[in-house]
């Protein structure tokens, strides 16, 4: 019993110690953010962002109207390179994957490096009408919020830093990534971290708040697995070869079983058969049919378990379709289309602390911490402090032709990004950076 009490006491001390460290870190963050907020040059930069809110909106519309379908982001990328150079950055380039990367150097070589990122691609296919229209206070357009807003916020923050001569201690990389949407599989941000070891923190601007006065912060990663599952059989004439197993029938069996699966609600785990195709003619038994399915969860364990059930259901469907006709099974072929890491990230990191403090210091409610699937998944999975932050304003219907954006107090987004950035990399003559350099780099 004495040993048990001793162990419990040690555990309690450890927990209290951890709470004390967390509280100390939060207090330090708030002090740093308030100190920065009160510096004259920072005040001027924040006021400029608010004063030029309409300019930011117009630039957002311009960017939204540049087509940037998956794997064809080059037109918008070239435009973004131009905009970054016009704001005075010299070190601007496009990497081998298509990412636009611009460096704003800091004053100290031993200070941390922060990435400010937004994605160049939209989810919409080539040829989609991307003209933005206004209806009342709302702006409708494919990709108007996701992620034309994020790209514009980066430019607004850079402009405020340049024109108010804000010199940071650490470097800032302004990055427009490719491949965030659809089957891009985060290829842009994966390439960024594959090719560089000098990144100490990461902020993706890709989150529009759901309602006025409500602020969200993505600090946890929702992972996903995306599969293409094909069913392949002998095919034949609908009358002359009746009794031959059908690939479409096998697909239907699979979907029926998958639709009845029970996914856990905690942690939230989801699935959807997103697209189906197959068959060749109204009077033919289908030789081939395929489906594409998206599986998501914040938990890597729950994601793997549900994926196993779905793949098993597809295999059984092929066997059952063969048995139905006393024939060989329909062949099942799988192709992994996407893999985003799950289960990483938390709100107890310098980037999340800095954003939360910045939001409060700027007069807003503390943000609600949520999980999502964004470019930040990759650095989260690497243990790098990372968040996805709001670009300001409100919106909804992303990934649809009814996507809309409304600039309600929209300047608060770039203001928060600016203040968070200065806190993380430090400002010359100001408090020390909240980020620390990674031990394994350089």
Per-residue pLDDT of the chain (442 residues; tens, 9 = 90+): 444 344 444 334 433 343 333 444 578 899 999 999 999 999 999 999 999 999 999 999 999 999 999 999 999 999 999 999 999 999 999 999 999 999 999 999 999 999 999 999 999 999 999 999 999 999 999 999 999 999 999 999 999 999 999 999 999 999 999 999 989 999 999 999 999 999 999 999 997 777 787 888 999 999 999 999 999 999 999 999 999 999 999 999 999 999 999 999 999 999 999 999 999 999 999 999 999 999 999 999 999 999 999 999 999 999 999 999 999 999 999 999 999 989 899 999 999 999 999 999 999 999 999 999 999 999 999 999 999 999 999 999 999 999 999 999 999 999 999 999 999 999 998 899 999 998 545 4
Domains of the chain: 26-222+342-425 (3.40.630.10), 223-340 (3.30.70.360)
Q: Taking each helix axis from N to C terminus, what angle separates 412-425 and 350-361, rounded to the nearest 10 degrees?
A: 130
In Å, what is the CA distance from 113 to each residue of 24, 149, 152, 167? 24, 23, 21, 14
pTM above 0.85, yes or no: yes
For residues 340 and 223, is the Cβ–Cβ distance under 8 A?
A: yes
Q: How many residues does the chain have?
A: 442
Alpha carbon distance 42, 37 (integer Å)? 6
Give 112's Cβ-side CA count (13 Å radius): 26
């Amino acid at each position: 019993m004495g040993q048990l009490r001793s162990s419990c006491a040690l555990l309690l001390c450890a927990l209290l110690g951890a709470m004390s460290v967390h509280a100390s870190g939060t207090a330090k963050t708030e002090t740093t953010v308030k100190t920065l907020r009160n510096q004259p040059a920072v005040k001027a930069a924040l006021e400029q962002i608010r004063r030029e809110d309409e300019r930011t909106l117009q630039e957002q519309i311009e960017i939204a109207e540049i087509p940037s379908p998956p794997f064809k982001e080059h037109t918008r990328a070239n435009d973004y390179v131009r905009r970054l150079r016009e704001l005075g950055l010299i070190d601007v380039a496009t990497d081998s994957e298509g990412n636009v990367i611009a460096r704003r150097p800091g004053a100290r070589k031993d200070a941390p490096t922060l990435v400010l990122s937004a994605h160049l691609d939209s989810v919409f296919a080539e040829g989609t009408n991307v003209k933005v229209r206004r209806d009342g206070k709302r702006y409708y357009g494919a990709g108007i919020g996701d992620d034309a807003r994020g790209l514009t916020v980066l430019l607004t923050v850079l402009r405020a830093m340049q024109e108010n001569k804000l010199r940071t201690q650490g470097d800032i990389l302004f990055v427009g990534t490719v491949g965030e949407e659809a089957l891009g599989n985060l290829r842009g941000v994966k390439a960024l971290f594959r090719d560089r070891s000098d990144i100490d923190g990461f902020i993706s601007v890709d989150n529009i708040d759901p309602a006025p006065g409500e602020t969200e912060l993505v600090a946890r990663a929702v992972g996903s697995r995306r599969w293409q599952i094909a069913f392949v059989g002998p095919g034949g004439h609908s009358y002359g070869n009746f009794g031959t197993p059908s690939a479409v029938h096998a697909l239907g069996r699979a979907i029926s079983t998958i639709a009845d699966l029970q996914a856990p609600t905690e942690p939230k785990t989801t699935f959807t058969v997103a697209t189906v195709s197959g068959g060749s003619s109204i009077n033919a038994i289908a030789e081939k049919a395929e489906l594409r399915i998206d599986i998501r969860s914040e938990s890597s364990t729950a994601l793997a378990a549900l994926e196993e059930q779905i793949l098993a259901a597809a295999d059984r469907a092929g066997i059952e379709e063969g048995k139905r006709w006393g024939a060989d099974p329909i062949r099942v072929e799988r192709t992994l289309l996407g893999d985003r890491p799950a289960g990483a990230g938390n709100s107890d990191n310098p980037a999340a602390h800095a954003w939360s403090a910045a939001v409060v210091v700027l007069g807003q409610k503390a943000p609600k911490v949520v999980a999502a699937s964004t470019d930040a998944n990759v650095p989260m999975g690497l243990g790098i402090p990372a968040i996805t932050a709001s670009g300001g304003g409100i919106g909804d219907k992303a990934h649809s032709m009814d996507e809309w954006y409304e600039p309600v107090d929209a300047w608060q987004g770039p203001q928060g990004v600016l203040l968070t950035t200065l806190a993380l990399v430090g400002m010359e003559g100001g408090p020390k950076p909240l980020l620390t350099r990674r031990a394994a780099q350089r």
